[in-house]
Amino acid sequence: MPNILIAEGTPSVWQAQRARFGLPANFSLFAEAVRLHRPEIRCTAVNIADHEALPLGATWSDFDGVMIPGSPLHIYDPSAYVTRQIDFVRAALGAGLPVWGSCWGLQLATVALGGTVRRNPRGRELPIARAITVTAAGRWHPLLASRPAVFDALCSHLDEIETLPPHSQVLAANELSAVPALAVTTPGRGSFHGTQYHPEHNLAVSAALLELRAEELVGEGFAANTDEVLAIVADYRRLHADPGRRDVIWRYGIASEIMDPLRRTTEIGNWLRTVVAPHRVAA
């Protein structure tokens, strides 16, 4: 049975605070996305932010891939929370494993492979990355297979890739992010694929992130006051509970690429099918 290691990048003490806003653990979001496409896959959790090691008795060869979700950390803040995760990604890639990264995971792998990350001078992108446009390289890349040439995706990020690591392919771009999707060829049998947006998120997660950051969003000019933010939060939660609410879909222009769970998680399904499965056969 395939086994995917999901490496949490949020310190547990921070996650306890985020849970009060209804934010689930990233492990559950990734495991749900994986099982939408491959229900037989086993998912194993480890919190690398908390310096957890591989499960007792396990080695890298016990896993068919590694997934790294989002995190409120910033890669340019050199805390132990950050540096130990860079080392972890280098070790996973050095062991020849396919690695997936969403948002923080993308930034983490970029730095581990020799690139750099900065605070995005264009500001925050939340809750939807609009008009993600597939590049010439992305048009032929299996990671974006079945995505339209231009699409929207759920997202939440303040940082962006500044310089690419060697042997990178930028697969998409939009107005706020030069690198929303990336593939990197690494020495040996390892590989990295990832997105700056969050295929694993759903509307309830976006609502929780909006509520969590309501005051920051007002300060950044996204709304006149927190009540405006909370009104959006309520609408997103209504739509998550009842996906048939056409009035809410229309109000926010939320496309089927977001509303349909299989479409929303396209990149994760493609990664499992075109990267993880062949790697397992070859191992």
Please name each of the domains of the chain with its CATH number. 3-124+158-201+261-282 (3.40.50.880)
Tell me: pLDDT of 283 over 80.
Answer: no
**CA–CA distance, 69 with 103 (Å, rounded to integer):** 7
Q: Cα(228)–Cα(223) distance, rounded to whole angstroms?
A: 6
pLDDT given at position 234: 98
Amino acid at residue number 123: G
And the tokens for 58?
Answer: 């396990």
Q: Which two tokens stand for residue 100?
A: 């997936």
For the stretch 71-87, pLDDT in tens is: 999 999 989 999 999 99
pLDDT tens sequence across 187-210: 877 899 999 999 999 999 999 999
Q: How far apart, in whole angstroms, are the C-alpha atoms of residue 75 and residue 195?
A: 16
Averaged over 98-104, what is the pLDDT? 98
Three-state SS at 240: helix
Q: How confident is the model at residue 217 (pLDDT cuts 50, 70, 90)?
A: very high
- What is the average per-residue pLDDT within 17-43? 96
Q: What is the pLDDT of residue 78?
A: 84
The helix or strand, by DSSP H or E, that contains position 234, with its residue range, turns out to be: helix 226-241
- Does the pLDDT value for residue 52 go beyond 90? yes
pLDDT score for 189 = 78
Dihedral over Cα of 143, 146, 149, 150: its sign: negative
Q: Give the DSSP H/E element, type plus range, for residue 152.
A: strand 150-154
